[in-house]
Structure 1
Amino acid sequence: MNKNVLITGTSSGVGLESAVLFAQNGYKVYATMRDINKAQALKEKIKKDNLNIILLPLDVTDKQSIQTAIETIIEKDGKIDVLLNNAGAGFAKTTEQSSEEEIRWVTEVNYHGVVFCTQAVLPFMRKQKSGQIISVTSVGGLVGQPFNELYCGAKFAVEGYMEALATYVSDAFNIKISCVEPGGISTEFMKSAIGKTAVDGQFATGEYLPIFEKYMAGNQKRANESGESVYQTGLEVAEVILKVAQNENPPIRIRTSKWAEDFCRLKTQADPDGTKLVSEIKKSFL
């Protein structure tokens, strides 16, 4: 029986590319998004290549929406083989200049959504004694960066959540856990981040503005001088995700490019794929 995969956030970028790539490689894909009216690009790809992709509405910040989507899949297939937690949103603004609503939003979308979707699929994967949960995090889930503290905080939370989950569900229930950690992605994600976070057209104002201008100049310099591109396409990241899904012994965490690997080196060099630490934790606690 072919494996199925539930993917969140498939209207564009990594999610859309992952849905197409998984379908091209024999998976039955349940491609979900908050606003199903934004599925036109994916619908065109489905029609063009006759892909086995089913579109479903799913808002990762709404537990009822998550439950309804999962019940639909279980009713059709009786199982969920892979959950790809892809939905997320960029956010770059100082803590001082962020509203309570914005702080709650960036946490809901990037962290709580992962927890709620995982919580909803776990009973079925536990019962079937198999499954895989892959979460798209970020190098920002390992390395804190200027003006990204709220986004990084949410992604750090995902990394800790997934790592802790891996210490016991993998052996007990044969549920594999992985974090995929891209660097910059040249997709709608970046445009959305800018549109969501700018204050009067700027990310920072007042005394923060000179620091922000220096930060932006440094970003531009790195992008110009880097022999290995900082920004990947959504497809390049999706290809790494697919390899993780096809791996019998997938890593706990994996960066998606040489640039991302180098960027996180000081955090990861002792245990690049995270498996040594998880193994040590199992020995200590279990």
Structure 2
Amino acid sequence: MKKNVLITGTSTGVGLESSILFARNGYRVYATMRNLDKADELRKKIKEENLTIELLPLDVTNIQSIQSAVQTIIEKDGRIDVLINNAGAGFAKTTEQSSEEEIRSVTEVNYHGVVFCTQALLPFMRKQRSGQIISITSVGGLVGQPFNELYCGAKFAVEGFMEGLATYVSNAFNIKITNVEPGGIATEFMKSAVEKTTGDDGQLASGEYLPIFERYLAGNQKRANESKEQVYQTGLEVAEVILKVAQNEDPPLRVRTSKWAEDFCQLKTQADPDGTRLVSQIKDSFL
């Protein structure tokens, strides 16, 4: 029997590549996105390869939209085996120069969307006594970075949410939890982040922040020029890690997707790289 997987944010990048890869590997994929007008590339792949992928509208910032998509799948197939919380939006700007709307938006998409999608799936996974929730976070969910503090804060929140959830739903209801933590991804993600968050002058920072920002940009460019292949992964490379997690009978709480990401987070993760020891300790302490 094919496993059903619901993936959010599948119009481009990791979500698009994951939808195709999971379908190629025998999953029935429900590929969701806020605007199905952006599904042309996925539709093309479905037709070319006769992939078992169904497109559904799902806006992770709208609870009714989430519930409607979930209900559609349940009415059709009766179960959802894997949820991949992939939808997200980059944001790079100083806290001081960010508007209230921008702050709320980056939190809504990157954190609240994960919580509400997970909340919508939990009753069904609990009832069927099986399931897997994979959230695509970031090295920014472990390590705060300049001009990314609002984005990192939302991803830190996802890490904490999933870590807390893993301490009791895994044993009680056989629901597996994993955070997949990419570093740089060579997709439209960062380009979109910059385009959405630059001000009228085209800068992410101004005034006294500008010299710091210019050093930040110069450092990023230097690292990219020196080690582009090591830093930046393709969406497919990250999707391959996600598939391995889904196929793992006993997946870890955390997994970085590249050596660069592993090295970048080492000071935070060296005592417990995959989070397994900590979850075990919390279970022993509280349960």
* Number of the residue aligned with 1:134: 134
TM-score when scaled to structure 2? 0.99
- For the Cα contact (< 8 Å) 1:228–1:259, is it kept in 2? no
User: Helix, strand or coil: the match of 2:159?
Assistant: helix
**Which residue number in structure 2 is paired with residue 264 of structure 1?**
265
Partner of 1:277: 278
Aligned residues: 286
Deviations 1:68-95 (A, max 9, x none): 0000000010000000000000000000
Cα pair distance change 1:26/1:194, threshold 3 Å: same
SS state of the match for residue 87, structure 2? coil
Supply the distance in 1 between the matched residues of 2:189 and 2:209 (Cα, whole angstroms). 24
What does 1:158-169 correspond to in 2, within 5 Å? 158-169=158-169
Q: Distance in 2 between matches of 1:233 and 1:20?
A: 14
Look up the match of 1:34: 34
Per the alignment, residue 181 of structure 1 pairs with: 181
2:65 partner amino acid: S
Deviations 1:252-282 (A, max 9, x none): 0000000000000000011010000000000
Equivalences for residues 117-266 of structure 1 within 5 A: 117-199=117-199, 200-226=201-227, 229-266=230-267
Please give the secondary structure, in 2, of the residue aligned with 1:229: helix
**Partner of residue 11, structure 1:** 11
Percent identity between the two aligned chains:
82
Counterpart residue identity of residue 210, structure 1:
P
How far off is 1:175 after superposition? 0.1
Where 1:261 maps in the other structure, the secondary structure is helix
Letter in 2 for 1:175: I
Q: Which runs of 5+ in 2 are unaligned?
A: none
Give the Cα separation in 2 of the matches to 1:73 and 1:52: 14
Deviations 1:171-191 (A, max 9, x none): 000000000000011111122
Measured against aligned partners, the alpha-carbon deviations of 1:207-248 in whole angstroms (never above 9, x if no partner) come to 100000000111111122237521110000000000000000
- Runs of 5+ consecutive residues of structure 1 not aligned to the other structure: none
In structure 2, C-alpha distance between the alignment counterparts of 1:47 and 1:193, rounded to whole Å: 31
Q: Is the 8 A contact 1:145 1:152 kept in 2?
A: yes
Q: How many Å separate the matches in 1 of 2:176 and 2:196?
A: 34
- The answer (yes or no) to whether the contact 1:143–1:267 under 8 Å persists in 2 is yes
Amino acid at match of 1:274: G
Whichever residue aligns with residue 53 of structure 2, its letter is: I
> Distance between the aligned counterparts of 2:219 and 2:75, measured in 1?
51
TM-score normalized by structure 1? 0.99
Tell me how far apart the structure 2 counterparts of residues 76 and 207 of structure 1 sit (CA, whole Å).
56
> 2:116 is paired with a residue of what secondary structure?
helix
Q: CA RMSD in A?
A: 0.7
Say which SS state the counterpart of residue 223 (structure 2) adopts: helix
> What stretches of structure 1 move > 3 A for 4+ residues in a row?
none
Structure 1 Cα separation of the partners of residues 253 and 59 of structure 2: 26
SS at match of 2:135: strand
Aligned residues of 1:228 and 1:258 also touching (Cα < 8 A): no
Cα shift at 1:28: 0.0
- Please show how residues 36-55 of structure 1 align to structure 2 within 5 Å: 36-55=36-55
